[in-house]
Structure 1
């Protein structure tokens, strides 16, 4: 079986695809990973075969201006309302037609069309038609993968890395559009995908948005109801090439608390002085505080307490083996790795689906959800002490670890994909 996997050039979205890619290789299948040229080293460093297509996008440098323009046309220039603090329970407006239209319009103009531009889609389709994969698996925002799958006649599957807000919002938006007269049904995502796919003889269908099915690494209690076909997959952490440092080869002399904000960060780490102040306050906890951050940047502000260890990078799944709690920004990789390791979490979420998962985890009793824009250093310290002192947090985190380990293994997913190809 030939499997083409594709993701736009962004490391946190790519990393979640790697264990599945290797499971397919170990099962004897041919795997190619297509991405933007400048990102191919990430692929080869993971031991996979890279296929460069298109030209490198400049999403992180130019998208804001374009998104401002489209939002101004919609009469709303508050960009953060469409990507941050997406509280499905506390912000009912996020399910309104106006909000969902603005989300799609801004995402298409400022994000989707930048990382799935014509050059990338063309290169991906050209390679897919030449190589003739049986399946195309695509990171959930890399819609060009769905077009390539249709263009070459392959099965099409999304690879999710967090809560499926795309499928959840899409279902609600289509329901609301169905209540309008046809001429009133404005659908920016459909219009863009229709235009992008037309040169390859591909007509629009909802499979271009959500695939034929989705591979979901979240345990069942945390999946959103989208009405879509899902292939469950047990989450396996992968943080990229790593070497276990000497200090991490065994447990510390005192309990450890990890502070990490991944690639997305959070508000108290944006400014070195603020970050330093928070860490100094956290040092009052009877534990070793292990921080993944730029040590030189923090030391330039001033000395840190002796029980604060700053490391530039440590493989998170290894670090968390020896931690009693973790503070993080709510990113899907950090959240899922902590769940996998059975470590209580203190979430300070703000971006995309992070709030949803933080709320779900708190409801399960395995962590706390704090507002990153409002929390003080003293409140964060108190939260850490509560999580460390109340056994229920650890017990529930361990319970969720056991439940998640019962999800389908990577080998089970491979067999499901094999069956999918056989029945097509």
Structure 2
């Protein structure tokens, strides 16, 4: 069977699809992955064939704001930027992906398209080509005002190409859902044709930071990251200041948006890296302090780890709320995320039996979800 996977051009949207894509290839299917040039090397390292489709979010925003614009929620109320976000994700990116995927589908004629749920262009292009398709979530489906704005613009584009009134949450397709049911959005669960899939962390190959693998396990290890898209030097400095005062070791992944050198000298129990193989690191960790990105949130769910969430944007706020509601962590938002507050909450989470028990229970739920290999065996039934 010929399969084409497609995702938006970012780590957080692409990584979640790779386990199923690789499992499908290992099951003997012909797999092609279509995304923007920036992410193609990541896919090639997974051993998958690639084709270019779409472009990155920076380029998409530049088509509206100009090449030198650097919009920031700090410059104005966040809701004032919603129309631009709606235009980018509800119109600019879908149009570009449809334009690029349409000839690609004509050349390869896949039996099934697997599109990442944030990539509406993949869903629409498959519909236009008459090819069966399924969605693939990248985390928890998070309703909210910004999603309503995006869907409003997307509805206009869908109507323009002949799909007025289509269900914009799933386009009527089955959806591979990597979020444990107990923490998934009730609104999504009520209407989705859900294909559960265990969230399997994906990291590019690399070595763990020195000292992690053979460390003294009686001393806690804290992992601090703000992800690949919303890194903030000031927030990281405050978090480092608070966490370093705990009798623990701290590994910091600065990510591509923060220069590690900008964090200055750090205490001796803190190690700063530009990047770490997160999926390999989490089994060694006792607490994750992070931004609330889907990959890190679900990775911590699977590893059974308490979480302190410092949300910065996008769906991170609803992910943080889900963490708190599930009893597996705490959140600190905006000005509340002081060094002192981070210190106190992290200490509480490292010693809280109830939180650790809830985290272990959630990890058991994740472990019971179908594996990528199991879901890959089901893919032919969705090809029609």
TM-score tier after normalising by the smaller chain length: 0.7 to 0.9
Judged with a 3 Å threshold, the aligned counterparts in structure 2 of structure 1 residues 389 and 403 are, in CA distance, closer, same or farther, namely same
Q: Which residue of 2 aligns with 1:19?
A: 19
SS in 2 for 1:161: coil
Asked which structure has the greater CA Rg, the reply is 1
- The answer to whether the Cα contact below 8 Å between 2:140 and 2:319 also exists between their aligned partners in 1 is yes
Q: Which residue of 2 aligns with 1:276?
A: 237
**Which residue, 103, 119, 129 being the options, matches 1:152?**
129
Deviation at 1:24, TM superposition (A): 0.7
1:293 lines up with 2:254 in the alignment: yes
CA contact (8 A) 1:15 1:240 kept: no
Does the C-alpha gap of structure 1 residues 57 and 316 become closer, same or farther in structure 2, counting only changes over 3 Å?
closer
C-alpha distance in 2 between matches for 1:358 and 1:300: 27
Please give the secondary structure, in 2, of the residue aligned with 1:373.
helix
Residue in 1 that maps onto 2:40: 40
Task: Say yes or no: does 1:310 pair with 2:275.
Answer: no
Structure 2: distance between partners of 1:298 and 1:190? 42
Post-superposition offset of 1:215: 0.9
| Whole-Å separation in 2 of the counterparts to 1:56 and 1:375 | 30
Q: 2:176 aligns with which of 215, 222, 235?
A: 215
Residue matched to 1:122: 99
Once residues 54 and 396 of structure 1 are traced to their aligned partners in structure 2, the CA distance between those partners, rounded to angstroms, is 40
Deviation at 1:17, TM superposition (A): 0.7
User: What's the counterpart of residue 334 of structure 1?
Assistant: 296
Q: Counterpart in 2 of 1:191?
A: 156
Equivalent residue, structure 2, for 1:235: 199
Q: How do residues 24-423 of structure 1 correspond to structure 2 at under 5 angstroms?
A: 24-53=24-53, 58-59=58-59, 62=62, 65=65, 80-81=78-79, 106-118=84-96, 120-165=97-142, 187-195=152-160, 197=161, 203-204=163-164, 206=166, 210-211=170-171, 212-224=173-185, 225-226=187-188, 227-252=191-216, 254-265=219-230, 269-271=232-234, 275-293=236-254, 297=259, 302-421=264-383
Shift in Å, 1:55: 6.2
Q: 1:245 to 1:270 in 2, by over 3 A?
A: closer
SS in structure 2 at match of 1:81: helix
Query: 1:169/1:419 Cα in 2 relative to 1: closer, same or farther (>3 Å)?
Result: farther
Kindly report the root-mean-square deviation, in angstroms, between the aligned alpha carbons of the 2 structures.
3.0
- Residue 350 (structure 1) shift: 3.6
Q: Give unpaired runs (5+ residues) of structure 1.
A: 67-76, 84-102, 174-185
What is the DSSP-based 3-state SS (H/G/I as helix, E as strand, rest coil) of the residue aligned with 2:211? helix
What is the SS of the residue equivalent to 1:210? coil
How many pairs align? Answer: 370
Measured against aligned partners, the alpha-carbon deviations of 1:77-122 in whole angstroms (never above 9, x if no partner) come to 9662388xxxxxxxxxxxxxxxxxxx6x54442333332334x322
- Give me the whole-angstrom Cα distance separating, in 1, the residues matched to 2:247 and 2:146: 46
Change (3 A) 1:245 1:418: same
- Structure 2 residue runs without a partner (length 5+): 67-74
Give the superposition deviation at 1:155.
1.4
- How far apart in 1 are the matches of 2:267 and 2:278? 23
**Cα pair distance change 1:12/1:5, threshold 3 Å:** same
Aligned to 1:257, the other structure's residue is in SS state strand
